[in-house]
Amino acid sequence: MLQRQTQTAAFWRDQFEVTPSDLDFLYNLLLDAQSPMRLAELAGALIQEYMRRENAKIAAELAKGAVYLPQARFRVGQTLVFPALDFAAGEVIGVRPGQNPEHGDFEVIRVRFNDGSTVREFAAGLQTPHRLNQSNGAQLLHDAGQLSAAEIYALYQDEIDESILYALEEGERHDQFVQVDGAWLLADLLAEVHVGHLNIAEALIEMAGMPMTTAELLREVELDANVSSQLQRISLEHALASDARFDRVMRDNEPAWFLRRLEPAEVVKIPAGLRPTQERYNRALLSVDLLQTEWELDDEWGESTLSSELPSVVPNTSFTLIYPHRRNGTIPLSGRTRTFFPPNRGGKATVTLIDGRWGNRYTGWVVYEGRYVTGLGKWMDDHAIPAGAYITLERTATPNEIVVDFRTRRPKREWARVATADLDHLRLTLEMNKIQVACEYDETMIVADADPAAIDQLREQMNAAGIELAQIVDQIVPELTKLNPQGTVHAKSVYSAVNIVRRCPPGPIFYHLISNRRFRDMGGGLFALA
């Protein structure tokens, strides 16, 4: 039976490469569309074109003569086409009776192929079943069993995308194609955007002091009026994306542009204290108590947060602030908080954060890569919120405006763990001291620092020295147990303290806690020295 190459895995996985004629096809496709097309659309159209070419080739081959079928009879001088032999064609030069009792009355034809040197014999008028009788010329062209272009793309998407992207991005004609917001179009269709236009855009954004949409910028940045409004927008977005001064962010759920030099440091680069340590560990060792504690903590980098996302109809939520977020003025994008902020469409987004006490408004930046929202440093400082405080988020009637609050109480001095950096011995020391607190907090997680800059320095030096998480847990647990008259420490306290010098979700910390023979599991999340 004929095997079309477009229906084989070997072709798409091993042989498919975008050719110059394929690029011509894609160029004309985009020229006719006069608008951007996604990679999946380009791939689907190109696969369909391969199938059309294949059909055209088959039709041309079939036009050379009659299709050879074992059940048919042929005459001398007749031209036959053999689909099973890659459409080889030949002339019938002889017909004789066949001799085989199993097949009854049939004929044998001699065929000289068009290469002039090959003569072969074939059965004709065969009455017994034969697999080559199952298809004729029409069936070869319109086989209902063929995979569609969509099915082919679903099976071999990675290989097809890779070949097309290489041709569009790095091939000899890459300068003819441009990508804007994940879609492709022809460079010739773009309106000219020169440095003067970009300087105007920069000035507009700087005066506004906030991200501006492309539509807002185009009111002042005048491009070629002969170009459609859609292509003007695409042209400006392409130019802005290619200029290092500008950064694409989401504002009110639509793309907008801001200046990198005006962005907060926590937006431009993920702070060292918020970069998580990810390491493999035997999760099966974690007890039920520790798994429950992990779920309660809902760390944005923990395994349990992946399946605990709150529905978007829940009006409010609360979480416990840990030291890395307090130090950097951020809040986590965890299972409990994610749906309060714009959905992740890549990059960053801006929101308005409203102080639930005083009504002050802050611009918050959602940094999806780092899984945090920044912009609350001043709010935390103004209210003297400690690490370990309960923070609440509440939805408002206005999209992307979120109320941030805490559970207030009469201010008083409370005993809390205070961390100090021992830079000489590269270790964290902890002692109990009184600090002013005016909010409700988790007693197992509250922590303060004596010298934030020294803590930052300790974190850097510990990383540079290659001190591993297991060593940090081993050093910190005795520091914590000495502060409790019962000589025990809660797993939450260990998690909270470790995160002062090493950002890490609960799972690996709990593993090093329960697998260390120096520590004894007392149940209920409590540990003591063995």
Query: What is the C-alpha to C-alpha distance for residues 257 and 233, in angstroms, rounded to an integer?
Result: 13
| Sign of the CA dihedral with 365 first, then 366, 371, and 376 last | positive
Is residue 481 in some structural domain?
yes
- CA–CA dist 428, 422 (Å, integer): 6
- Looking at the structure, do residues 321 and 335 belong to the same domain, yes or no? yes
Residue 137: pLDDT band with limits 50, 70, 90: low
For 444-515, where are the alpha helices, taking DSSP H only? 452-464, 469-481, 491-501, 506-514
- Residue 157's contacts (CB-CB under 8 Å, 6 or more residues apart) are 43
Q: Is 277 domain-assigned?
A: no
Q: Is residue 244 located within the same domain as residue 316?
A: no
Q: Which pLDDT value is given to residue 143?
A: 64
What average pLDDT score do residues 443-470 get? 96
The pLDDT value given to residue 299: 96
- The answer to whether residue 1 scores a pLDDT higher than 50 is no
Is the domain of 339 the same as that of 369? yes
* Enclosing domain of residue 220: 190-263
Per-residue confidence (pLDDT) for residue 414, from 0 to 100: 92
- The answer to whether the CB of 427 falls within 8 A of the CB of 487 is no
Residues 6+ apart with CB under 8 A from 160: 12, 16, 43, 46, 47, 153
346 shares a domain with 423: yes
* 380 and 473 co-located in one domain: yes
| Residue 275 counted as domain residue | no
- Among 69-83, 264-278, 457-471, 495-509, the least confident range: 69-83
Work out how many domains the chain is built from and give that number: 4
Mean pLDDT of the chain: 92
Query: What is the greatest pairwise CA distance in the chain?
Result: 113
Cα separation, 360 vs 365, in Å, equals: 16
Q: Is the Cα torsion angle 70, 71, 74, 79 positive or negative in sign? A: negative
Residue 317 to residue 393: CA distance in whole angstroms: 5
- Residues pairing with 316 in the sheet: 394
- The predicted-structure confidence for 373-423, as pLDDT tens digits, reads as follows 999 999 999 999 999 999 999 999 999 999 999 999 999 999 999 999 999
Same domain, 353 and 462: yes
Are 439 and 527 contained in the same domain? Answer: yes
Determine the Cα–Cα distance for residues 416 and 433; give it in Å rounded to an integer.
6
Give pLDDT, residue 157.
95
What pTM does this model have? 0.76
Q: Which residue has the higher pLDDT, 351 or 133?
A: 351
Residue 273 lies inside a defined structural domain of this protein: no
Q: How many CB atoms lie within 10 A of CB 62?
A: 19
Identify whether residues 51 and 148 lie together within a single domain: yes
Residues 98 and 237 in one domain: no
pLDDT at 104: 81
Q: Which range is most confident: 55-59, 118-122, 350-354?
A: 350-354
134 — pLDDT class (breaks 50, 70, 90): low
